[in-house]
């Protein structure tokens, strides 16, 4: 099946001059686009089509060549390729003196000089999308039907009866009407920003966002059910999370984390969604190359706001990717301190997703509000690369057995990082250290009304290390299926006991971190005992991608140090530019690791990710 695209008639007022059978003629239709647009908060859309929000009256007028009684007029509103009253994608309703009930209705405002002024009300739970409005006239035994034209119906965050209702004015303006923003990136110790143009009101974008729905797998498999379910922002949000990536369908963006972007754009070259969405449409719905997490999130944010679902972009620092749903990220080293490509878990320096605001009718009302949606193709859900919606409140409480994708998202913000020492020669696997503090730092979004950072970490979890946080973690672990809750380790002996180390270590930055310059660190050791200790240290440094993937080893060294009782010493680490120059990618990230071994004691693994600044470019303009 080929990709589908909408086509529609342009014109502020669709002027129709149609002769009806019998004695009546329809002269013109005035959609009152400007007035309706202002009343429905759709006047920012660069479009000549009527755009209104569900559950709210809109007005139009029909000019005839002769007078008609309103009792002779009936309307039909329909959406989708196979509209029917049984699926609520078609409604037939009379022109009445007043509108009653919660369904579709039309009220005659006045009938004067052959002009019928009409108000039309859609249900607050009507499917969103492009509707065709037809008028049926029964006059002196003759019955005629005319298609008046089309209009677009969107979700309505201004309406209390709508499931996307957002009561706070400033938040509505930010999360629905704001067409630009910032996205946080970098690392937990070095948070940076990029600007992003959402552009949800720009010409053609609404039409493209509707095309997203009509190119989904759901629509192709069952268009009748798909269109009927577009009344639910939960359903629409999940479909969009699948359509923004191209992994299973005619989706928008092809992801690429390889470092080779031949045949497309480097993900860091994008600064907005409009160009991406238009490229997708113009190319015949072929995937735009290439994107990474913030590109997927920025584009999904555009689609959500465009269709009327309040949304925002969220950045999670030290974001876990737990592939086996055991709520831990397992990291492996060999006895020399070299990282091992064993297992598929990882920790991303940062990961970006979306939150959308709506009611969860499938859960208790207390779990409505912000819901996580993630368009980055990481793991399949119900056979498709889609993710969410997941209630943020439910995540905080550890309710990972609810829809949708709760275990994966819970782990992203709250997994434990477990370090293992694997000896390939003996086949032994030894648990070295479990860190419950590392994952899920400084969860961030743009503040309402400003470009400052708003920390939303406590929306996702209780304070790290608190009894409530650990209780939520244990609750989540207990709710998972038993075979998912425990990881089957490699063959060979396994020791899971954590021994208390006699030394501590950390990397400290001792110089400016700039591309083109030497990287200067200090490895600081402290003896935690009253006895002297001899430490054998194996150190490595690798360039990495922001998702934690190792690129290339750029430096290594070994040293043996002696620490007196309770002594603290610093060992300098210098990584020359010539060593990392060829292997540094656009993320400018290097991971330094030290495996520290005291004789007959447990190893201490010290690790730090550093981000290098690009050098300042100075332009000097001299006179002629």
Residue 457 buriedness (CB in 10 A; 0-12 / 13-18 / 19+): middle
390-391, strands of its sheet edge to edge = 390-391, 369-373, 346-358, 311-321, 441-446, 453-455
Q: 329 with 583: CB under 8 angstroms?
A: no
Same domain membership, residue 203 and residue 137? no
Q: Are residues 81 and 197 in the same domain?
A: no
Catalytic one of 351, 387, 405, 609: 351
Q: What mean pLDDT is predicted for residues 468-492? A: 69
Residues 239 and 264 in one domain: yes
CA distance 487 to 480: 12
374 is catalytic: yes
pLDDT digits (tens, 9 = 90+) for 235-275: 999 999 999 999 988 999 999 999 999 999 999 999 999 99
Q: Which of 427, 452, 485 is the last residue of a domain?
A: 485
Q: Residue 35 catalytic?
A: no
Instruction: For residue 227, name the pLDDT band (cuts at 50, 70, 90).
Output: very high
Of 330, 374, 405, 587, which one is the catalytic site residue? 374
> Do 253 and 341 belong together in one domain?
yes
49 is in an annotated binding site: no
DSSP 7-66: -----SS----EEPSSS-EEEEEE--HHHHHHHTT-TTS--SSEEEETTS-EEEEEEESS
More confident residue, 585 or 15: 585
Residue 176 — φ and ψ, nearest 5°? -120, -45
Q: What is the mean pLDDT of residues 463-489?
A: 78
Provide the sign of the torsion angle of the four alpha carbons 468, 469, 470, 472, taken in this order. positive
Which pLDDT does position 13 carry in this prediction? 36
Note whether residue 418 is domain-resident.
yes
Both tokens assigned to 378: 């990481």
- In sequence order, what E strands does 101-197 have? 105-112, 115-121, 129-139, 142-154, 180-187, 190-197
Angle between helix axes 205-214 and 274-282 (nearest 10 degrees) is 60
Same domain, 382 and 253: yes
- The end-to-end CA distance of the chain, in Å, is 63
Tell whether the model's pLDDT for residue 362 goes beyond 90: yes
Q: Mean pLDDT lowest for which of 54-68, 232-246, 489-503, 569-583?
A: 489-503
Alpha-carbon gap, residue 221 to 210, rounded angstroms: 17
Q: Could you say which of 179, 231, 293, 405 is catalytic?
A: 293
Furthest C-alpha separation in the chain: 109
End position of a domain, from candidates 107, 127, 154: 154
Q: Per-residue b/e over 500-523, b at no fewer than 16 CB within 10 Å?
A: ebbbebebeeeeebeeeeebebeb
DSSP state of 238: H
- pLDDT band of residue 491 (cuts 50, 70, 90) is very low
Look at residue 623 in the predicted model and tell me its pLDDT: 64
Could you give the C-alpha distances from 571 to 500, 525, 561, 563, in angstroms and in order?
23, 8, 9, 12
Region for 433 from its dihedrals, namely left if φ exceeds 0, alpha if ψ lies in -120 to 50, beta otherwise: beta
Residue 459 placed within a domain: yes
Residue 34 domain flag: yes
Residue 495 included in any domain: no
Distance CA 473, CA 327 (A): 8
CA angle 557, 563, 566 (to 5 degrees): 135
Q: Which of 453, 485, 517 is the last residue of a domain?
A: 485
DSSP SS3 for 411: helix
Q: Are 466 and 402 found together in one domain? A: yes
Residue 161 lies in a domain: no
CATH number, domain containing residue 368: 3.90.260.10
351 is catalytic: yes
Q: What is the overall mean pLDDT for the chain?
A: 92
Give Cα 181 to chain centroid, integer Å.
14
- In this prediction, residue 483 has a pLDDT band, given cuts at 50, 70 and 90, of very low
Measured distance CA(244)–CA(307) in Å, rounded: 14
Q: Does an H or E element contain 93, and which?
A: strand 90-96
pLDDT (0 to 100) of residue 568: 98
Cα 539 → chain centroid: 37
306 and 254 both lie in a single domain: yes
Is the separation of the CB atoms in 252 and 243 below 8 Å? yes
* Confidence tier at 139 by pLDDT (50, 70, 90): confident
620 domain-assigned: no
Tokens of 323: 């592939």
Instruction: Output the pLDDT for position 342.
Output: 80
What pairs with residue 598 in β-bridges? Answer: 535
- Tell me the three state secondary structure of residue 473: helix
Look at the chain and report how many structural domains it folds into: 3
Would you say residue 1 lies in a domain? no
Q: What is the pTM of this model?
A: 0.93
Are 337 and 538 in contact by the 8 Å Cβ rule? The answer is yes
- Cα separation, 346 vs 411, whole angstroms: 11
CATH number, domain at 142? 2.60.40.10
Look at residue 335 in the predicted model and tell me its pLDDT.
Answer: 86
Of 350-354, 403-407, 486-490, the least confident? 486-490
Q: Are residues 519 and 469 in the same domain?
A: no
Are the CB atoms for 354 and 312 separated by under 8 Å? Answer: yes
**pLDDT value at position 414?**
96
**282: which residues sit within 8 A by CB, 6+ positions away?**
none
Q: How far apart are CA 538 and CA 189, in angstroms?
A: 25
Q: Is 414 annotated as a binding residue?
A: yes
Whether the pLDDT of residue 521 is over 90: the answer is yes
Same domain, 370 and 434: yes
- Convert the pLDDT of each residue in 278-329 to its tens digit: 999 999 999 999 999 999 999 999 999 999 999 999 999 999 999 988 999 9
The answer to whether residue 491 sits within a structural domain is no
Same domain, 219 and 97: no
Residues 291 and 242 in one domain: yes
Domain containing 585: what range? 501-611
Residue 311 sits in the same domain as residue 211:
yes
- In tens, the pLDDT along 56-108 reads 999 999 998 888 787 889 999 999 999 999 999 999 999 999 998 889 999 99
Is a pLDDT exceeding 80 seen at residue 489? no
Proportion of the chain above pLDDT 70, given as a percent? 92
β 25-30/129-139 pair status: unpaired
Query: Beta strands 180-187 and 190-197: pairing type?
Result: antiparallel
For the cut 80, the answer to whether the pLDDT of residue 53 exceeds it is yes
Instruction: Write the DSSP symbol of residue 287.
Output: P
Q: Of 485, 445, 456, 484, which is closest to residue 396 (Cα–Cα)?
A: 456
3-state secondary structure of 194: strand
């Amino acid at each position: 099946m080929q990709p589908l695209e909408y086509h529609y008639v342009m014109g502020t007022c669709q002027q129709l001059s149609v002769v009806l059978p019998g004695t009546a003629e329809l002269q013109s239709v005035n959609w009152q686009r400007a007035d309706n647009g202002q009343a429905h908060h759709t006047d920012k859309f660069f479009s000549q089509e009527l755009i209104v929000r569900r559950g709210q009256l809109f007005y139009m007028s029909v000019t005839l060549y002769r007078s008609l009684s309103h009792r002779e007029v009936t309307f039909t509103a329909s959406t989708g390729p196979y509209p029917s009253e049984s699926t609520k994608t078609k409604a037939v309703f009379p022109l009445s003196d007043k509108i009653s009930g919660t369904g579709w209705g039309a009220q005659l405002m006045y009938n004067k000089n052959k002009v019928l002024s009409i108000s039309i009300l859609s249900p607050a739970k009507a499917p969103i999308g492009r509707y065709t409005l037809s008028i049926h006239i029964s006059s002196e035994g003759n019955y005629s039907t005319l298609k008046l034209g089309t209009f677009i119906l969107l979700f309505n965050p201004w309406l209390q009866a709508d499931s996307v209702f957002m009561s706070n004015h400033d938040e509505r303006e930010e999360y629905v009407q704001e067409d630009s923003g910032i996205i946080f990136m970098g690392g937990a110790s070095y948070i940076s920003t990029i600007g992003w143009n959402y552009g949800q009101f720009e010409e053609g974008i609404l039409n493209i966002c509707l095309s997203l729905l009509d190119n989904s797998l759901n629509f192709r498999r069952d268009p009748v059910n798909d269109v009927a379910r577009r009344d639910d922002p939960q359903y629409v949000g999940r479909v969009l999370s699948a359509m923004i990536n191209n992994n299973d369908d005619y989706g928008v963006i092809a992801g690429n984390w390889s470092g080779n972007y031949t045949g497309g754009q480097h993900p860091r070259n994008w600064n907005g969604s409009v160009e991406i969405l238009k490229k997708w449409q113009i190319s015949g719905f072929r995937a735009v190359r290439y994107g990474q997490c913030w590109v997927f999130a920025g584009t999904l944010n555009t689609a959500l706001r465009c269709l009327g679902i309040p949304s925002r972009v969220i950045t999670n620092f030290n974001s876990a990717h737990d592939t086996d749903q055991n709520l831990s990220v397992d990291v492996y080293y060999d006895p020399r301190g070299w990282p091992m490509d064993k297992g598929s878990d990882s920790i991303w320096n940062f990961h970006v997703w979306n939150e959308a605001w709506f009611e969860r009718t499938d859960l208790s009302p207390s779990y409505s509000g912000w819901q996580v949606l993630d368009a980055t193709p990481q793991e399949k859900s119900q056979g498709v690369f889609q993710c969410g919606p997941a209630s943020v409140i439910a995540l905080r409480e550890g309710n990972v057995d609810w829809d949708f994708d709760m275990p994966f998202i819970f782990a992203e913000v709250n997994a434990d990082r477990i370090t293992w020492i694997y000896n390939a020669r003996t086949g032994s696997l030894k648990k070295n250290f479990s860190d419950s503090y590392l994952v899920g730092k400084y969860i961030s979004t743009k503040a309402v009304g400003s470009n400052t950072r708003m920390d939303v970490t406590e929306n996702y979890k209780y304070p790290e290390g608190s009894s409530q946080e650990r209780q939520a973690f244990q609750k989540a672990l207990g709710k998972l299926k038993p075979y998912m809750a425990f990881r089957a380790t490699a063959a060979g002996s396994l020791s899971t006991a954590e021994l208390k180390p006699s030394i501590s270590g950390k990397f400290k930055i001792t110089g400016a971190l700039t591309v083109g310059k030497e990287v200067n660190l200090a490895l600081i050791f402290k003896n935690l005992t009253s006895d002297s200790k001899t430490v054998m240290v194996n150190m490595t440094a690798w360039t990495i991608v922001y998702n934690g993937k190792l690129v290339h080893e750029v430096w290594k060294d070994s040293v043996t140090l002696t620490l007196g009782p309770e002594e603290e010493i610093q060992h300098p680490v210098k990584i020359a530019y010539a060593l990392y120059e060829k292997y540094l990618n656009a993320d400018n990230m290097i991971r330094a690791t030290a495996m520290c071994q005291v004789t007959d004691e447990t190893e201490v693994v010290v690790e730090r990710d550093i981000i290098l600044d690009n050098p300042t470019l100075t332009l000097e303009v001299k006179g002629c």
